[in-house]
Each structure stands twice: as C-alpha cells, then as structure tokens.
Amino acid sequence: MVLFRAHVLVSGRVQGVFFRESTRRCAEALGLSGFVRNLPDGRVEALFSGEEGAVHRALDFVRRGPPGAQVTDVHVDLNPPRADADEGSTEFRIQSAPHC
C-alpha cells in the first residue's frame, strides 16, 4: 500500500465543539494514523496518513466538522514530508497543543 498523507489546518469555530474527538473517531474508523490538536491561535491542526481514499474521506469530514462547529477555512498540504515523530506510528491520537 502506498502511504498518502495530508497535513491540515482548520479555522473557524473548531475548538470547544468536540472537533478533535470527532476527528479522532473518524480517522480511526477509516484506519488512518496521525494526530489532531488545538493550536494556540484557535485553529485545529491534523495529520492524516493512510490509504488515499480514506485520507480524502477524513478531509471531507474536517471540511464540515462535527455538529456545533463552524468551519470557515481548511488549508491542506498533501503528502507533506514525514516527520521523525511519526515514523512507524499506526494510531491516530489527540495531541496537546504545542508550547510557544
């Protein structure tokens, strides 16, 4: 299987509406690995890795978001370089926000 990856930044009302948990559940159901986390500027960041069709279905989900979310912008970088921290990971996790 060829690994397909997408790095995503989601803007709008995406924090405090179960966006991360909903995204984690969606990604796990699709068999994806990666992460999702809140950013200090109010956006949500995600990295999806797996089968191309599954990654595109996850992107469809984050463009809508869960009930209560209001997505205003989604920036997608397809097939970004693989970070060392992701090497060999087979799970999708919620990460804590990065520290400044």
Segment 35-80, tens digit of pLDDT = 999 999 999 999 999 999 999 999 999 999 999 999 999 999 998 6
- pTM recorded for the entire structure: 0.87
Which residue out of 5, 24, 38, 43 is catalytically annotated?
A: 38
93 is a catalytic site residue: no
Asked whether residue 22 is domain-assigned, the answer is yes
Catalytic residue among 20, 25, 37, 57: 20
- Segments forming the whole domain that contains residue 40: 18-75
Pairing type for strands 44-50 and 4-13 reads antiparallel
In a domain, 49, yes or no: yes
Q: Is 20 a catalytic residue?
A: yes
Amino acid 100: pLDDT:
55
In the chain, the number of structural domains is 1
Task: Please state, in angstroms and rounded to a whole number, the distance separating the CA atoms of residues 31 and 33.
Answer: 7
Q: What is the CATH number of the domain that holds 22?
A: 3.30.70.100
Residue 28, in any domain of the structure: yes
* In a domain? residue 9: no
Please report the pLDDT score of residue 1 as a whole number. 59
Residue 44 lies in a domain: yes
Domain for residue 41, yes or no?
A: yes
pLDDT at 90 (0 to 100): 75
